[in-house]
Structure 1
Amino acid sequence: MRSTPSPSARRWDGSPVTVPPRRSLRVASDGTSRLLRCGQGDRCRDCGNRIEWYHRSMQRPVRLHPHELPSARVPASCRWHVSSGIAHPAGDGSDWCRVPHAAVCPAREALSVLPELAGLRRTLAINTRRLIDTGTFTPPPAEADDPVPQRAVCRPVRPVVQLLYVRYLAARPVDEIQCVAQTRRRHRCVSPLLTPDAPAGVWRLVPATATSGQLALPSEVMAVYDLSALPYAEQLRWRAQRCPRHATTPTAADLAVADWEPFDPLRHHAHIRTRLPTPARRSGPAGRARQATRP
C-alpha cells in the first residue's frame, strides 16, 4: 500500500515543499584548470601501476598511491592527506593516510629508510611483471645504463621545452606529447600536440640553466626545444597541452594533468643533453635534400 502524494506543493503540516533545482557539474572556462577537484586516474610511465594525480596548494601536481594505508605503517615523512581535492604533504590526524607513488614505485631504487612500505613495493613489482608478461605495459628504455654512446641517441626521452619564457621538462618525446582533452566518448584524445599542419619549434643549444634567474652550470650547454618564436596563442596551446582541434573547443574538459614540470638544472641534471637531436635519415635523393636544408 502506497500513500498518495498531496497534489499541492505543501507537506502534511502545511509547510511549503522546496525542491532545489538540479544543477549539473560544469567546469569554469576561465579557471586555471579545467580538471575537477578529484584524483585523476592514470598509470605510472615507469612501472605501469595505477596512480592518482592531485594538485597541491601551490598548483603543482603530485602522484599518489590510489589506496589509503594505515598511518601506523607509513613513516611521518611520507604521509599525505587530501582535503577538498587538494593534496597536502602531512597527516591529518586520522588512522589512514595516502603515500606518494615515488616512495613505492618498483622502477625506482628502494629507500632503505622506508622498510614499512617494502611489502607494498613488492606487490607493485609483481603487478608490473604481470603487466609486462601480458603485453599491456612496456617499460621505457633505461637512460643511465644505456651502453650506446650519447651521440647515437636520436632524440631525448624527456626533452626540455621552452615556451612563454619558461623552461619545462616534458614527460615524453616532443612528437609523443598527447592532448589531455576529453573526447565526446569520454576518453582521452589521442592526437599529439605536434601536427604536420601546425608550426613547430626549433632545437637550440643554450646554457644549462632555468629561466628564473638561476645561474648556469659551469661550461655546460643543453638542447632545448624552443617554441618562443611561435605566436602567443600557439604557445598557450602547448602550455595547456591541447591539440589544434581541442584548442578551439573551450567547453571540452581536461581528462588528465598536463605533463609539464618546471625545469631545474640541478634536480634534472640527468635529463640534460649536450647535443642536438639527430633527425631521422631518409634514403633517396629527397631525403638527402631535406637533410641538407636542415640546420
Structure 2
Amino acid sequence: MRPHSTPGHHWDGSPRPRQPRRSLQVAAHSPSRLLRAGQTGRCRSCGNRIDWHQRTDHRPIALHPAEVATADVPEACRWHLSGGIAHPHDDGSGWCRIPHAALCPRPTTHPRATDPRLMALRRQLAVRSRRLIDTGTFTPASPTPATTLPNTDRDRPVRPVVRILLTHYLGEGPVADIRCIAQTRQRHRCTQPILDPAHPAGRWTLLPIQPHRGQLALPGGSMAVYDLNHLPYAEQLRWRAQRCTTHTAAPAAADLALADWQPLDPLLHAAHLHTRLPHPAPPQPHRR
C-alpha cells in the first residue's frame, strides 16, 4: 500500500524544505553591470557560441566560451577575466581565454592561432558550423553596404555616427530604434527606446572626420553626426549607458546586453560615413 503524502511534505508527513527562488543580481561593487545570462551569444559568421565581455576600454570582445591551456595560446591572444572585465594578458595561471576571432573558421582579420591543438579546435568549430548550416539552424550573415531607410527620412543612415561626451560612436541601428539594455522585473530586456520625446534630443550636424588614435591625418571631409554634446552631462551618460529614462532612475537593474556603441574608426567604418545631413521626406500629396 502506497502511503499518502500531502504537497510540500515527505511521505511521513514531515515538512519538505524549499529553497527560495533567487534571481540573478549584480553586486554593487562589480565593475561590470552585465548579467551572466546576457553574456552569451552566437557568432554572426560561423554560428558558434561566444561569450561577450567588456574590456578595460569599455569596448566589447567576443571570447571563446571555454578556457584553453596557456601554453597553447600565443602571448598576443591571451586574455583573462577579473570581475567580469576582460584583460588582454594572462593571469599567471595555466589557463586563459582566447578571442573567438582567433578560432573562427570564417575568414577574419584577427591573427590566427597556429598551434596544432588550436587548429584542431578550429576544425571542430568548422564542422559544427557546417552542421548548423546544413540543418538550417544558422544562416551566415552576408556583408551588406550601408543603406538608408526607405519611405521615412531621406539620407538617414541605418548605422548613425553619434557624438557623446566629445567621442564619436557608431550605433548598431537607427537612433529611434536603439533599445534600452536593462533587465525588467519579468527578467526580459527592456523594450523602451533611449530616445525619449519628453527629454531634449540630439541634432544632426556636419563635423570634420577626425582620425582614430594612432592613425595618420585623413584628407579633409565632413560626416553627418547625431550630436548630443549640447545635452546635460547626466543625459549624455544615459545615452552612453544605453538606458531609458525609467531604468536610469533605477540603477539597481542589471544589464542584459552590452551597449551597442562602437568607437568610430573612420577607416574601418568608412561605408557608414555620410556626407549629407538627413532631411525629412517631402509630404505626400493628398489623393481625393
Could you state the TM-score of these two structures normalised by the residue count of structure 2?
A: 0.68
Map 1:71-90 onto structure 2 (within 5 A).
71-90=70-89
Map 1:1-295 onto structure 2 (within 5 A).
27-28=27-28, 33-35=32-34, 40-109=39-108, 113-116=112-115, 117-125=118-126, 127-128=128-129, 140-143=141-144, 146=145, 154-194=155-195, 199-209=200-210, 217-266=218-267, 268-276=268-276, 281=281, 284-285=284-285
Q: Which has the higher contact order (CA 8 A, sep 6+)?
A: 2
Secondary structure of 1:246 counterpart:
helix
Q: Distance in 1 between matches of 2:201 and 2:46?
A: 31
**Residue-pair matches, total:** 258
How big is the alpha-carbon RMSD for the aligned residues of Structure 1 and Structure 2?
4.2
Unaligned runs of 5+ in 1: 1-23, 287-295
Could you state the TM-score of these two structures normalised by the residue count of structure 1?
A: 0.67
Q: Distance in 2 between matches of 1:254 and 1:218?
A: 39
Residue identity opposite 1:262 in structure 2: P
Residue identity opposite 2:284 in structure 1: G
Q: Distance in 1 between matches of 2:201 and 2:162?
A: 12
1:119-150 deviation digits (Å, cap 9, x = unpaired): 4444445555555666665655524xx4x999
Larger mean CA deviation between 220-229 and 191-200 belongs to 191-200
Instruction: Report if aligned partners of 1:205, 1:224 keep a CA contact under 8 Å in 2.
Output: yes
| Pair 139,206 (structure 1): closer, same or farther in 2 beyond 3 Å | farther
Residue identity opposite 1:206 in structure 2: L
| Pair 263,114 (structure 1): closer, same or farther in 2 beyond 3 Å | same
| Pair 154,127 (structure 1): closer, same or farther in 2 beyond 3 Å | farther
Instruction: Report if aligned partners of 1:246, 1:252 keep a CA contact under 8 Å in 2.
Output: yes
Q: Percent identity?
A: 54
Q: Distance in 2 between matches of 1:237 and 1:101?
A: 30
Larger mean CA deviation between 200-209 and 214-223 belongs to 214-223
| Pair 199,137 (structure 1): closer, same or farther in 2 beyond 3 Å | farther
Larger mean CA deviation between 233-242 and 57-66 belongs to 57-66
Q: Distance in 1 between matches of 2:56 and 2:37?
A: 14
- Give the Å deviation of 1:113: 4.9
Q: Distance in 2 between matches of 1:25 and 1:162?
A: 31
Instruction: Report if aligned partners of 1:177, 1:192 keep a CA contact under 8 Å in 2.
Output: yes
| Pair 161,100 (structure 1): closer, same or farther in 2 beyond 3 Å | same
- Give the Å deviation of 1:88: 2.6
